[in-house]
């Protein structure tokens, strides 16, 4: 990915992914999972990216997937995936931000903040009651980002149960 012409966030274009972005988004998913110590294959993440793009482009959309890219034709350098759900806490429809990842070369430019801000605007414009997310322990930059955007820490643990024989972590 050529980053020589990207000087600041003014050069970053935000929007829905294109079908041909699936490999680049799969790479971003893979980078994030690898950084978190979650063992997934590149093929699994590429397949997931294809499914996510299709789900975000279906009518009605099954999720939100937005990317950030350097210029209109650049390869995605950031991705956000949000799922729709029903929330007792918010007493209505809510969004769950499942994934926010910006590749290291493009960090500290406000890209993650802008992706989240756009999702918050979308949620408000479409009648959602709230937005949930999580940050892994030790991911201080993410925690700071979310708190400065108005998110509140919940005093709870999150658990998972994986169906099938494969272990998560």
Specify the CATH number for the domain of residue 139: 3.40.630.30
Q: How confident is the model at residue 137 (pLDDT cuts 50, 70, 90)?
A: confident
Give how many domains the chain has, as a whole number. Answer: 1
49 assigned to some structural domain: yes
Let me know if residue 118 belongs to a domain: yes
Q: Is residue 127 assigned to a domain?
A: yes
pTM: 0.88
Looking at the domain assignment, is residue 157 inside a domain? no
Residues 76-129: tens digit of each pLDDT = 999 999 999 999 999 999 999 999 999 999 999 999 999 999 999 999 999 999
169 within domain boundaries: no
For residue 3, the model assigns a pLDDT of 37
Residue 31 corresponds to which tokens in the numbers above? 């980078």
Structural domain span for residue 16: 10-148
């Amino acid at each position: 990915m050529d980053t020589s012409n990207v000087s600041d966030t003014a050069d970053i274009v935000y929007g829905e992914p294109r079908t041909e972005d699936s490999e680049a988004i799969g790479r971003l998913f893979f980078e994030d999972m690898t950084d978190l110590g979650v063992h997934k294959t590149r093929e699994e993440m590429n397949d997931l990216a294809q499914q996510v793009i299709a789900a975000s482009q279906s009518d009605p959309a099954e999720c939100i997937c937005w990317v950030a890219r350097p210029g209109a034709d650049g390869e995605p350098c950031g991705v956000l995936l949000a799922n729709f759900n029903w929330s007792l806490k918010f007493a209505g429809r809510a969004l769950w931000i499942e994934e926010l990842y910006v590749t290291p070369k493009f960090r500290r430019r406000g890209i993650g903040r802008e992706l989240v801000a756009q999702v918050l605007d979308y949620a408000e414009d479409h009648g959602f009651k709230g937005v949930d997310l999580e940050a892994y322990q030790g991911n201080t930059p993410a925690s700071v980002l979310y708190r400065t955007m108005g998110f509140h820490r919940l005093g709870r643990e999150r658990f998972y149960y994986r169906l099938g024989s494969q272990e998560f972590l």
